Structure 1
Amino acid sequence: MSLLHWEARYSVGIAAVDHEHQDLIALINRLYDAAVAQGDRQAMIGFFGELFRAISSHFALEERLMRERNYDHLAQHKADHERLLDEIRDIMDDVEGEDRFDAAELARRLDAWFSRHFETHDARLHHAFGPH
């Protein structure tokens, strides 16, 4: 069962960024599936490590592209990236510290984390980078 689904409205109009967004959705869905199955906790922690690395790399790509295009909201977008990374670290710490994790709560937090950024900062980025 998928938690997140790619939607055309998530596209920012840059193929590399859009492709990475789709990969992140797939990774978040794998993490969620593992949580629902209440699988091996170490595997969950490994998924989080993989997710954190992928997100960090993705944010670096976005920020480089925004700098190259003199994007006027770079500072705000970058600050939100830092906030999101902090939130992922908090979720990771919670999973590591619990004997059993709540898949529904994990789903709520991951969905809010992803959707809020897409609907605000990435939507503005989409508008700035033009039509597709």
Structure 2
Amino acid sequence: MSLIAWDDRFSVGDASVDHEHRELIGLINETYDRLKRPDADITVPDFLGEIYTRISAHFALEEKLMRASRYVHFQEHKADHERLLDEIRDIMDDYEDKRIFDAEQLVQRLGAWFGVHFRTHDARLHRNLG
């Protein structure tokens, strides 16, 4: 079952960024499916680490593109990136400290965040780059 479906409205018009958006959606959907498995509690740290690593790398690419184009909304867009990374780190810390993890909450938060981020920040970026 997919949590997030790709929609052409998510496109920012840069092939590398759009490719990574599709990959991130795929990772979130795969994580959503795998976290329902009986052995999910063993694999939680790997899932969280992979999501964090891939999202961090994607944000670096997107921010490089925004800096190169002197994107006027760069600081606001970057702040939204940092907010998500902070949330993921908090979830990772909570799991490591207390072994508390709500898989459903994680994927719902990621799904909601990406849906809103794609429709607002990334859509505006696309309009400005296009």
- TM-score computed with the length of structure 1 as normaliser: 0.88
Partner amino acid, structure 2, of 1:81 = H
* CA contact 2:28–2:107 (8 Å) conserved in 1: no
User: What are the within-5 Å matches in structure 2 for residues 72-87 of structure 1?
Assistant: 72-87=72-87
1:20-74 Cα deviation digits (max 9, x unpaired): 0000001111111121224332312101101100100000000001111111111
Q: So what's the TM-score if we normalise by structure 2?
A: 0.89
Matched, 1:128 2:128: yes
Consecutive unaligned residues of structure 1, counting only runs of 5 or more, are: none
What is the CA–CA distance in structure 2 between the aligned matches of 1:51 and 1:106, rounded to whole Å?
Answer: 11
User: 1:14 is matched with which residue?
Assistant: 14
Q: Does the CA-based 8 Å contact 1:4-1:29 persist in structure 2?
A: yes
Distance 1:60 1:77, change over 3 A: same
| Contact residue 34 and residue 44 of structure 1 kept, 8 A | no
C-alpha distance 3-87 of structure 1, shift in aligned 2 (>3 A): same
Residue 106 of structure 1: aligned partner = 106
1:93 matched to 2:56? The reply is no
Preserved contact between residue 63 and residue 74 of structure 1 (Cα < 8 Å): yes
Between the aligned partners of 1:88 and 1:34, the Cα distance in structure 2 is 18
Q: Root-mean-square deviation (CA), in Å?
A: 1.6
Cα separation, 2, equivalents of 1:78 and 1:27: 22
- Alignment map for 1:26-41 (pairs within 5 Å): 26-41=26-41
CA distance in 1, matches of 2:87, 2:126: 23
* Letter in structure 2 aligned against 1:116: V
CA distance in 1, matches of 2:22, 2:38: 24
What is the number of equivalent residue pairs in this alignment?
129
Q: CA deviation at 1:113?
A: 1.9
Residue pairs, 1:49-64, within 5 angstroms: 49-64=49-64
Q: State the SS of the aligned residue for 2:115.
A: helix
User: Which amino acid is 2:71 matched to?
Assistant: Y
